[in-house]
């Protein structure tokens, strides 16, 4: 996947970067969908979510208390169930301390 993003980088110089990046993310999301399907259906893994009810197609922040290889798959599963697979973004602890969150 990283190689694909590197190959798409020169397209941003011609004004196609944003469109191509969105198309690539949706394509990668389909790949994640098949992996999540195998995880949940064939391996019979059951994921239980706690917290607020989030409507479909709604932006949200999903915070994991630790980072392991499987956390990314679990967060992608959450994105798939909410219709946002292919639109998820990841931040690590060092970066997230600069994110301003306003709660009203």
The pair of three-digit structure tokens given for residue 43, joined into one six-digit string: 């391996």
Q: How far apart are CA 49 and CA 90, in angstroms?
A: 19
Cα separation, 53 vs 60, whole angstroms: 11
How far is residue 34's CA from residue 18's CA, in Å, rounded to a whole number?
A: 25
Per-residue pLDDT tens for 4-32? 555 555 555 555 667 777 777 777 767 77
Structure tokens at 70: 């499987």
Q: What is the pTM of this model?
A: 0.47
Q: What is the pLDDT of residue 104?
A: 46
Residues 39-86 have pLDDT tens digits of 777 777 777 777 778 788 877 777 776 666 667 777 777 777 788 776
Q: How far apart are CA 27 and CA 44, in angstroms?
A: 25
Please write the tens of the pLDDT for every residue from 75-89: 777 777 788 776 777
């Amino acid at each position: 996947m990283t190689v694909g993003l590197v190959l798409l980088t020169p397209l941003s110089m011609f004004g196609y970067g944003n469109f191509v990046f969105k198309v690539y993310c949706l394509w990668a999301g389909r790949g994640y969908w098949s992996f999540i399907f195998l995880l949940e259906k064939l391996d019979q893994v059951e994921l239980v979510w706690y917290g607020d009810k989030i409507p479909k197609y709604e932006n949200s922040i999903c915070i994991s208390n630790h980072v392991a290889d499987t956390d990314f798959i679990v967060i992608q599963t959450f994105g798939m169930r909410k219709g946002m697979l292919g639109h998820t973004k990841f931040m690590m602890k060092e970066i997230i301390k600069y994110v301003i969150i306003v709660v009203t």
